[in-house]
Chain A
Amino acid sequence: MAAPKVGTFTTGLVPLPAENVDTDQIVPARYLKVIDKAGLADALFHDWRFEADGSKKNPPFVIDEPRYAGHGILVAGDNFGTGSSREHAPWALGAFGIKAILATSFADIFKSNALKNGILPIVLPAPLHATLMQIAKDDLAATVTIELATATLTTPDGATHAFPIDLFSQKMLLDGLDELDYIRTQGEKILAHETAHLGTINTLQPNTPR
């Protein structure tokens, strides 16, 4: 699978003003029985979106509201992605068309998983976050431009705001580079470390039958 590549994009906002949105809401565990990454778009926020019979809720959950169709930036509450390590969460967000999430903080594992899938977890200061949440609710035509190369976000009023990003992740995403390929370029160092720590760090004994 090719590594994700991210550049500059402009898209609408979807408001999800809930704190601590956990991975069990993003993808309920019963959808983790897949053995590939495909087809998770319908699993996204499943239990907030669908009735027991599989029909969409009425009124629909925010991401299904026709007025937000095609909007690729989720504006969510604090500590988005808390919970499990399931990478199915960013897979499902990506499959649905979400390219970035704006929040005041993210859970560690989710943040790492999102970046590996080209979804930008963008941490904003509370006032700017609150402004964008309000815009997301009030102004359906509003768009935001995210430019990864400069790590900036341009709000509908034309103002540009810098956001923090891990410089390594930024470079990998801009160039479409793969983290595993990067680690593999360091094969000699890995071997040297392994040899230097033979039997000292790792004391695992081969299994003996009990």
Chain B
Amino acid sequence: MPKTIIEKIWNEHVVDQQEGAPAILAIDLHLVHEVTSPQAFTGLRGRGLKVRRPDRTVATADHSIPTTPRNLPIADEMAAAQVKQLEANCAEFGVPLHGWESPNQGIVHVIGPELGLTQPGATIVCGDSHTATHGAFGALAFGIGTSEVEMVLATQCLLQRKPKTYLVRVDGTLRPGVSAKDIILALIARIGVGGGTGHVFEYAGSAIRALSMEERMTICNMSIEGGARAGLVAPDETTFDYLKGRPHAPQGADWDAAVARWRTLTSDEGATYDKEIVIDANTLEPMVTYGTNPGMGLPISGTIPDPANESDPAAARALTRALEYMDLHAGDSIIGRPVNTVFIGSCTNGRISDLRLAANVLKGQTVAKGVRVMVVPGSADVKRQAEREGLDTIFRDAGADWREAGCSMCIAMNGDQLAPGEYAISTSNRNFEGRQGKGGRTFLASPLTAAATALTGVIADPRTLPGMSR
């Protein structure tokens, strides 16, 4: 029977499947960070257990660390204690740590691919819902809770029910000024934040094939925002080219054998999915969210929807509440809405290609007066590369703030945050109430849209930039 890549990876990792019970699923790679792991290590200690496979476990600090210069101590006492606890746990249990001062430090979903830890066909978990990012390599990667972190630390296995499959086919060609972020925001706007619940997305189609690895990561990253715990892209030459030579990638004959195996990781002709959707890339515009969940997005030329037009009373209520929180009015254009802050970074859009796009827009320009523009590289490696290319100078000269690597204002745990009532346009993944600081309001968009907005101080269509013909 023809199988999807999702089923192939699943089947290969089932250790045991008892009638009525979830499968015991083998995990190839476990990524660990400071926020969702301390209680799991405490649990191990209480049970007198060890980490079963420290060679398949990698830790970093990203969520609660400051993005100020690394020669300064962590001012927030709780964050400092959490980072110190991670260091102590990793030392005690023998887990490799790219700590907050390490040259390999970065957002866990940025460094996994960067170090070649993320590989096709693998099962990858982390106590973080954006673990779906690693699916860009054709891995089955998903976020888990802290109880599950403890299970994987102890056994390198998880109890899981087989997920349903959901084909997201994106055909056609993206227009200039439209990017991977706009594809995923368009998908979520269409299916809603619960649309993929219980499913794993497979992204396919000519528009997906044409994307770089970093663009595929942007799309897979936000699978969870569509309700799917995981999303993946079958590996191809783009995947292998990206991986080759990375520190943890196989080498020599091992590499050839691995690639030969990885080439079999495609969905078979005639494989069926539980759900399917087709998106036409030709018709996509840059997308911006207007509400308080990532499904509340619209094409940038659109206007804020009217709750009165919602047939479902619950949806109307949710929209009314969202517009109240955002202080936006039905019928208004989204273009031209003022912002206080522009945030460029996160596991969604904090990679070198994202920074290049933003720098290209800001080069030789000055950001709008009174607008704070924060550029936060996704990893120490991204930061070094950007500095080698002079992007830091472009950002600084334009009046943007160039910072150290971390999750920063995507989750606003580390002091990088909005003041109540402030608006941000953000390349991150969530626009929930208070996500970027209590009372803060978020417009999610692509790096191009965010950079265009930085120049004007109001939401701007990147297609109007020089070199982006309609």
A residues at B contact (CB < 8 Å) = 1, 17-20, 22, 24-25, 28-30, 32-37, 47, 52, 77-79, 82-87, 105-109, 112-113, 116-117, 166-168, 179-180, 182-184, 186-187, 189-190, 193-194, 197, 200-208, 210
Contacts and interface: CB of A to CB of B under 8 A. Distances in A.
B155 A35 contact: no
A201 B122 contact: yes
The interface residues of chain A, by DSSP majority, are classed as loop
A67 B147 CA distance: 34
A25 B147 contact: no
Given A25-B433, A84-B128, A107 B151 contact: no
A201 B28 contact: yes
Contacts of A194: 26, 156
Contacts of B157: 183, 186, 190
The 5 residue pairs across chains A and B that have the minimum distance between CB atoms: A79-B194, A113-B145, A35-B38, A85-B143, A33-B78
B227 A19 contact: no
Q: Give the interface size class of chain B.
A: 35 or more
Given A29-B413, A82-B227, A109-B143, 20 more contacts: A1-B43, A24-B435, A29-B412, A35-B81, A47-B438, A85-B143, A85-B144, A107-B197, A113-B145, A166-B22, A166-B161, A179-B151, A180-B47, A183-B154, A183-B157, A186-B24, A194-B26, A202-B29, A204-B56, A204-B119
Interface of B: 12-13, 15-16, 20-22, 24, 26, 28-29, 35-36, 38-39, 42-43, 46-47, 55-56, 63-64, 76, 78-79, 81-82, 85, 96, 115-117, 119, 121-122, 127-129, 131, 143-148, 150-151, 154-159, 161, 193-194, 197-198, 224, 227, 229, 247-251, 254, 258, 261, 293, 295, 314-315, 317-318, 321, 411-413, 420, 430, 432-435, 438-439
Contacts of B47: 180
B249 A205 contact: yes
A20 B194 contact: yes
26 contacts: A19-B317, A22-B430, A22-B433, A25-B433, A29-B411, A32-B64, A35-B81, A37-B39, A84-B128, A86-B145, A87-B36, A106-B197, A107-B197, A107-B227, A108-B197, A108-B198, A109-B129, A109-B143, A112-B148, A166-B161, A168-B20, A168-B159, A179-B159, A190-B15, A190-B157, A193-B16
B85 to A, nearest CB: 5
A41 to B, nearest CB: 16
A193 B23 CA distance: 13
Contacts of A105: 194, 197
B79 A29 contact: no
